[in-house]
Structure 1
Amino acid sequence: MNIEQRLKKLKRFEILVRSKQRERNVLGSMISQFSDEMTEKAKNRCRAIDDEISWLYDEREQLVHDIEHLDDPVESIVLRLYYVDDKPWNVIAYDMNCSIRTLQNIKRSAIRNLSKKINQVG
């Protein structure tokens, strides 16, 4: 998965986690109604969902760390506000007192730099 895909997933992090938690809760509440074979399958799926949620948290933590450690603090702030805090461009532009076009250029540069940084480490 490339860096842009990972960042888009980060933007949807809370939605993904809530969806997986709901699935797990539904399965967990229905386990007592299943046959032994289905109960085992449901328990396995619950464990798999727990693993997926754990992976999502790990991925989020790593990406946020990488964003916060970009060399350019403005790039770091723009990526954080857009992907981590899920703020729309107009709000970020107002907060940072610059145009949306400027922010998008900063974002593009930040993604390039983030990709380089991750590829150097990995």
Structure 2
Amino acid sequence: MTDIRKRLASLKYIDSKVKSKRQEIVSLHSGILKSQRYSDEPKGGSLSNKSEDLNILIIDRTRELYDEIESLLAERRELVQMIESLDDPMENIVLRLLYVNGYSWSEVKMELNASHATIQRARDKAVRNLLKNDTDVNK
């Protein structure tokens, strides 16, 4: 049960992580160096091209970041799909508000006009159902 709870808890942070990784990509691209310009003047004895090496590192890191973003979005899609698969509308909306929308308990109480105990029961039952469905799928 802990695994699904951890995954649900991390769901509300996925959008922030994706945004942060996209910002890192923008920052990396602003650091890409223009290629060297050749002239008739003699250059130093170094045979390596440091700007090219740096650009390759930036491109590789950008690829890694895009892969990480895709992985995060796949996790988000899977969790939202699991939430949407719940038959009970109260369980569905409680998990959606808490984990997808990132509402606080008091915001969920106001939105649904329900008591804290009702929301907690719905959340706990939904988590048990998700765990049961996950177990059934993996058999």
**Distance in 1 of aligned mates of 2:135 and 2:99:** 20
Q: What TM-score, normalized by structure 2, do the two folds share? A: 0.80
Larger helix proportion of the pair: 1
Greater relative contact order: 1 or 2 (C-alpha under 8 angstroms, separation 6 or more)? 2
1:116 Cα deviation after fit: 1.6
Q: TM-score, normalised by structure 1?
A: 0.90
Spell out, residue by residue over 1:61-81, the C-alpha distance to the aligned partner (whole angstroms, 9 max, x if none): 111111011122211110001
Query: How many residue pairs get matched?
Result: 122
Percentage identity across aligned positions? Answer: 39
Unmatched 5+ residue regions in structure 1? none
Q: Which aligned segments of 4 or more residues in structure 1 are displaced greater than 6 angstroms?
A: none
Partner SS for 1:70? coil
RMSD over aligned Cα, in angstroms? Answer: 1.7
Instruction: Give the structure 1 partner of residue 16 of structure 2.
Output: 15
Report the 3-state secondary structure (helix = DSSP H, G, I; strand = E; otherwise coil) of the residue aligned with 1:37.
Answer: helix
Report which of the two structures shows the higher radius of gyration computed on alpha carbons.
2
Quick one: distance in 2 between partners of 1:63 and 1:7?
A: 7
Could you tell me which residue of structure 2 aligns to residue 106 of structure 1? 122
1:71 matched to 2:112 = no
Which structure 2 segments of 5+ residues have no match? 35-49
- Residue 38 (structure 1) shift: 2.0
- Which of the numbers 53, 61, 69 marks the counterpart of 1:53? 69
Q: Which has the higher mean CA deviation after the structures are superposed, 83-92 or 93-102? A: 93-102
**1:44 is aligned to 2:45:** no
